[in-house]
Chains A and B, each alone.
Chain A
């Protein structure tokens, strides 16, 4: 069974760079997109971006200028960096596996996040 284990600094000062890593255990690293999602306190989910095993990325347009994602295929890990953080970046950050499948007898692909990490609380405060 695939599991995601994530870690990173939980307390940052404004203008610092958030850095999180997520390790994939028990399954294939290739053939999926690997996503980061965040959830500010008391609010909904926000997609940050995704990366595949070859390093191809898609980012949330609203965060694109500050986001960098990378992969280390030798360790089955992927990482998130978010620069110039402010209090608005305070949130629980989740990593997730994003699966894309082409079902038989259906015109449309299926896209879904089927495995999630437990989340890392990141607080930005001076």
Chain B
């Protein structure tokens, strides 16, 4: 089955810009969505589609994609952005529809 690959950990200085990437074959056919998860909480959708933010998500979060890679960019990272970030996408490999998640990226804000 298809997989989505993320770097396990990324760090960023307070106020700087950080990019979190997600790679996988399914991303050639489907957009990634991105979720933020803080300890002990359910994931929260932060980016979906080409580059869309749900209501209430700060505009410092943005998304992009190219080929088999999707990216989540945080411009001007804040302390409250420290969290785990997961990408997912639809997948139709193996002739059945399913969803795949990346392994997650732990973001540390220094």
Contact = CB atoms under 8 A, between A and B. Distances in A.
Interface of A: 35, 37, 44-47, 49-50, 58-62, 94, 98, 101, 103, 106, 108-114, 116-119
Contact of A35 (B35, B44, B99): B99
23 contacts: A44-B101, A44-B103, A45-B86, A47-B88, A58-B96, A61-B98, A94-B42, A94-B43, A108-B29, A108-B30, A108-B31, A110-B49, A111-B30, A111-B48, A111-B89, A112-B48, A113-B33, A113-B43, A113-B88, A114-B45, A116-B42, A116-B43, A118-B42
A50 B99 contact: yes
Interface residues of B, number: 30
9 smallest CB-CB distances across A and B, nearest first, come from A112-B48, A110-B49, A112-B33, A47-B99, A116-B42, A44-B104, A45-B101, A111-B90, A58-B97
B63 to A, nearest CB: 11
B49 A114 contact: no
A79 B52 CA distance: 30
Contacts of B88: 45, 47, 113
Given A113-B33, A113-B43, A114-B54, 4 more contacts: A47-B99, A106-B50, A110-B48, A114-B48
A18 to B, nearest CB: 19
A69 to B, nearest CB: 13
B12 interface: no
Interface in B1-60: 1, 29-31, 33, 35, 37, 42-45, 48-50, 52, 54
Contacts, number: 77
A50 B100 CA distance: 12
Given A110-B48, A111-B30, A111-B33, A47 B97 contact: no
A8 B104 CA distance: 27
B1 to A, nearest CB: 6
